[in-house]
A and B are shown apart, each in its own frame.
Chain A
Amino acid sequence: MMMTARFLRLTGTSGLILLACLAAAAIYVPVANQFIPETSLFHVSTASVVVFGKYLCFAMLALSIDLVWGYCGILSLGHGAFFALGGYAMGMHLMREIGPRGVYGNPILPDFMVFLNWEELPWFWHGFDMFWFAMVMVLLVPGALAFVFGFLAFRSRVTGVYLSIITQAMTFALMLAFFRNEMGFGGNNGLTDFKDVLGFDLQADGTRIGLYLLSVLALALMFLICRGIVLSRLGKVLIAVRDAESRTRFIGYRVEHYKLFVFTVSAMMAGVAGALYVPQIGIINPGEFAPANSIEAVVWVAVGGRGTLVGAVIGGIGVNFGKSYFTGALPEIWLFALGGLFVVVTLFMPKGILGVLSQWRRKTAPAETAASTAPRTDEKAEERA
């Protein structure tokens, strides 16, 4: 009983609904893919399983952005970089897994290195043949970049729009760097033609369902980790920093340490999202570092509802679903439809989809105090202080 109560407190009402939906999706999609005949309306094709898996990875990215932006007020427009770095770390492992099965049949060197007439493996490719090493790098590389970047930025008290701009610059610089062949990450084409992971064929239905389930699990876990952070006293300090940074400093908190902590944790989460994305999609290239990607991910969070976590997941899945739908249904004008959606949300739903939902719920059940931690719309207090 105690455990249940504590778990309920951890998830919150909307979080519980989210987890239930994730559990339902975890059961339904594989069953519908394997056991419902293709002719049925309820069948889920293997291609769709991959697409759903992709949405889940985007939801994780959105969640990681909401943790820093929604709760600590750090508007990162460079989170795509952490996502891509996690993806590259995974991609490097998958490249090494190909072994002698590549076009050139070189047992050690990936095809693109043979093509560039390289004699031996660059030093930073060593170790990636081991799965565990690659997994450590998935966390460590984005985490280390975020730590160093954050250490310098937060120590110099770079905040607000200036911070957003340098995060954009960071992801842009990385994109340019990764485009270069000499960097040793496959240049323009990136890493692709993966064969298998841990001996499982990446093209097989079973592997795809497995990766999908892993994504569901990772998303659920990340959600719980975020809730744990947000509900702790540290979470209260984060909100305090978001609402009145100098006040927080003057009552004795080292604001930069808190920012650094949450920024690093968030970057690692984005890295995991990227690492799950790559084997499902089958390719990672420098395009993932594009500044527009990071901005788009921030839009998902805004659409879903900033500072709610659940909203970020809804936004990450919902907007991408809408994007896929519009590309199919309105191929000519889908970009306008998507743009229109953003305009509508910004104008009429400043607190996002979840904000509208909780407002509607409050109307029906006035006693409930919902979404109390969501940031207030007037954020002038800090600027004036």
Chain B
Amino acid sequence: MMKVSTLFFLLHYLLVGQTGYEIARQVYQKSNPEDLSNTMHMQLISTKNKIRSHVMKSKSIDGNRKQMIWFLEPKDDKGVSFLKIEHIGKDDEMKMWLPAFKKIRRITSKKKNDAFMGSDLSYEDLSSRVLDNNKYERLEDQILDGKDHFVIEISPKRKVSSAYEKHLSWVDKKTFNIVKEISYDLKGKIYKEKEFVYTQIKKYDLIKEVYVKNIQKNHSTRIKFTDIMLNQNLGEDLFKEKNLKRIPFD
């Protein structure tokens, strides 16, 4: 029986190649480090080319499902910190430390489409995609910057609340990294264009730069990640309210 099914899949792969779902699975199931620390340099560029810059320190575990962010710059934001814990099947937990008030405040995750810190990335963009929450369709392969890419169409399933109708993702055939993505709003109009640049540290492909352009608002965001460190044995204990009040040195 095993032999028959193996033969069937082999035959299927040879005849039609990988399906969209299979490509997506390979993308999402790529191994992630146990934990990740970095410094995020975020630049927001307005329609009138005015720039706002933020620098944040981030630590995360579990493929970013638990993340702590401390604001370092600009001066106005310094000391503010943010804790996010994603839950499957219920609202994410998001808390902020407001040093001037000496208070921790929970913030809503109701408006998932809202921009994170005025950037072009929404909380939905920042959340990890769950493989079975979307439908995948493989489109014709394309060459991008001289490299061969899969192109897959990712559409959130009806039961999933999303600000997007679909995404077109360009997946590097060698690394299975998404290097480019075009997202469409619920009316089917192009909403955002995203570009990703990776760096390889140890055996992991880690994003070192993201560029997002909101086509409809003509506003863009560039995030560069520096001081990337991984597998530092960050324990679950770090992701507690009490740690919001302290900016880590490393």
A and B: interacting chains: no
Q: Which residues of A contact B (CB under 8 A)?
A: none
Q: Which residues of B contact A (CB under 8 A)?
A: none
